Amino acid sequence: MSKQHPIVAITGSSGAGTSTVRGAMEHIFRRDGFNAAVIEGDSFHRYDRFEMRRQLELAREEGRNLSHFGPDGNVFEELEALFREYGEHGTGKRRYYLHNAEEASPFKQEPGTFTPWEALPGDTDLLFYEGLHGGVVTGDVNVAQHVDLLVGVVPIVNLEWIQKIHRDTSVRGYSPEAVTDTILRRLPDYVHYITPQFSRTDINFQRVPTVDTSNPFIARDIPTLDESFVVIRFREPRKTQVDFSYLLNMIDDSFMSRRNTIVVPGGKMGLAMELITQPLIERLVQNGANRVPA
């Protein structure tokens, strides 16, 4: 589905590690001299924090489900419109959701607010989305169809919750109880809108710990890279032109667990991600650059 203005999306739940992976992808762009328009998924929330709290109260009173994982908590239609516009013309608008004082202070705004929409920088080589909904499909909206390379970042769910609790308490100032409530409230939307995306991804990176995480709500530390493996599954190995022998050679202690799945030690996740995605991204940008505009 390659086109003149390619779109690469990293999709994953809250706490999965998409922001962490974004750093690795930005290294690739820098090394290759690619100018990427970066889109943060949280900027497509429907409400700012203050209004979301009000809406949550209303939803509770009316017995409705509302969360940042589902269509009522986000403007999926605007995300799809951005991807369509960027794919066709290389243009579009973006904004940021400012999670904490550190993110908010350069904009002289309050945490939990959005920056104003602004035009994407001109003349970018690709759009890079990182967030919750890069592969979302509902009855009304199909974001996934516009994405040229869709990558899932999916720790097993206990690890995802440990990472979320750890990050939200240490960086975002929430109590463990508040994070647990959020996890519970979001579960229906998690099942209906987050997990189905991982059947649409071209590649999934699933971190699996080798230590006991059976009660994520009392875990004190995030299992380290050395205490985990990463299971990497390719939906269509031929489409992504993956060379498994090369990867097995380059990544010590890696092995194949299925015909389309390679397992690497946790510490090799960054290397695996670069070896796998860099040639794919280069091909997409190259194809885009060679395409004659419509």
Ligand X SMILES: Nc1ncnc2c1ncn2[C@@H]1O[C@H](COP(=O)(O)OP(=O)(O)OP(=O)(O)O)[C@@H](O)[C@H]1O
Ligand Y SMILES: O=C(CO)[C@H](O)[C@H](O)COP(=O)(O)O
| Interacting residues with ligand Y (CB under 6 A) | 14, 42, 45, 49, 68, 97, 99, 112, 132, 172
Q: 125 or 189, CB closer to ligand X?
A: 189
Q: Kindly state the smallest distance separating residue 108's Cβ from ligand Y, in Å.
A: 19
Asked if 216 touches ligand X (CB under 6 A), the answer is: no
CA atoms within 13 A on the CB side of 58: 9
- Give the C-alpha distances (Å, rounded to integers) separating 1 from 87, 127, 194: 10, 15, 23
Q: Round to whole Å and give the CA distance between 25 and 95.
A: 20
Q: With respect to ligand X, which residue has the nearer C-beta, 119 or 171? A: 171
Q: What is the CA angle 55-58-61, rounded to 5?
A: 150
Residue 92 φ then ψ, to 5°: 155, 180
User: Nearer Cβ to ligand Y, position 49 or 93?
Assistant: 49
Residue 118: what are its φ and ψ, rounded to 5°?
-140, 155
Measured at CB, which residue is nearest to ligand Y?
14
| Cα–Cα distance for residue pair 117/136, rounded to 1 Å | 22
Q: Is 222 an interacting residue with respect to ligand X (CB under 6 A)?
A: yes
What separation in angstroms does the CA of 42 have from each of 19, 30, 242?
A: 11, 24, 31
What is the C-alpha to C-alpha distance for residues 269 and 23, in angstroms, rounded to an integer?
Answer: 13
Could you tell me which stretch among 12-20, 103-111, 180-188, 192-200 binds ligand X (CB under 6 A)?
12-20
Residue 14 as a binder of ligand X (CB under 6 A): the answer is yes
Binding to ligand X by residue 209, rule CB under 6 A? no
194 binds ligand X (CB under 6 A): no
Q: Residue type at 129?
A: Y
Q: Which two tokens stand for residue 201?
A: 């991804």
Which listed residue (167, 186, 200, 233) binds ligand X by CB under 6 A? 167
Side chain identity at 201, as an amino acid letter? Answer: T
Is residue 225 a contact point for ligand X (CB under 6 A)? yes
Is 166 one of the binding residues for ligand X (CB under 6 A)?
A: yes
CB of 163 to ligand X, least distance (A): 3
Neighbours of 63 (CB within 10 A): 6
Q: Which of 94, 186, 200, 207 binds ligand X (CB under 6 A)?
A: 207
Q: Which does 143 bind (CB under 5 to 8 A by kind): ligand X, ligand Y, none?
A: none
Residues 6+ apart with CB under 8 A from 209: 155, 156, 158, 159, 223, 227, 228
> Cβ of residue 14: shortest distance to ligand X, in angstroms?
3
Q: Does residue number 147 form part of the binding site for ligand X (CB under 6 A)?
A: no
15 is a site residue for ligand X (CB under 6 A): yes
* Residue 17 touches ligand X, criterion: CB under 6 A: yes
Q: How far is the CB of 264 from ligand Y (least distance, A)?
A: 26
What gap in Å lies between CA 226 and CA 253, rounded to an integer? Answer: 12
What is the bridge-based pairing of β-strands 118-119 and 255-258?
Answer: unpaired
Our finding on whether 134 is near ligand X (CB under 6 A) is no
Which part of the chain contacts ligand X (CB under 6 A), choosing from 10-18, 85-93, 182-190, 282-290?
10-18
Residues that bind ligand X (CB under 6 A): 12, 14-20, 163, 166-167, 207, 222, 225, 269
